Amino acid sequence: MSILGRSLVIAGEVRSSTDVTIDCRVDGPMLCEGTAVTIAQSAIVVGDIVARDITVFGQASGQLIATEVVDLRPGSIVTGAVIAPSLILHDGARFSGRVDPNRLDAALSVAKFQQKQRDAQAG
């Protein structure tokens, strides 16, 4: 498991092939297919997240695309779209956006296409 600590501010794309805990600010997409992403209480993520499981204790803004579950814990603040077969919304979590469990395949295809475009632009 990887942990991105509080002292970091990441501007750009994050990719991980292992489970990751975010305890910092991330401005950009996170591509963590097949892994779990945990957004700690002090963390802020502004960008789309693609993962197997996404658990939010902190703040997230963008599309949360999970192949299994998105879990919004008490105190979390999420703005955007949740695209996953399962959503757990705990008491005390704040969510503003839409939930679309039926668009998962399309959302994953779009995310992969966007990733290829960014790779081509990078060089």
The answer to whether the CB of 18 falls within 8 A of the CB of 2 is yes
Give me the residue spans of the domains in the chain: 2-122
Euclidean distance between CA atoms 10 and 74, whole angstroms: 25
Over the stretch 103-122, which tens digit does the pLDDT of each residue have?
A: 877 887 888 888 888 878 87
Taking CA atoms, 39 is separated from 15, 26, 28, 111, 122, in Å, by 15, 10, 14, 20, 27
pLDDT for 5 equals 67
Q: Which of 57-61, 77-81, 119-123 has the lowest mean pLDDT?
A: 119-123
Lowest mean pLDDT of 8-17, 68-77, 78-87, 104-113, name the range.
104-113
Q: What is the pTM of this model?
A: 0.86
Q: pLDDT, tens digit, for every residue of 27-49?
A: 999 999 899 999 999 999 999 99
Q: Whole-angstrom Cα distance, residue 1 to residue 8?
A: 17
* pLDDT band at residue 3 under the 50/70/90 scheme: low
Centre a 10 Å sphere on the Cβ of residue 37 and count the other Cβ atoms it contains: 25
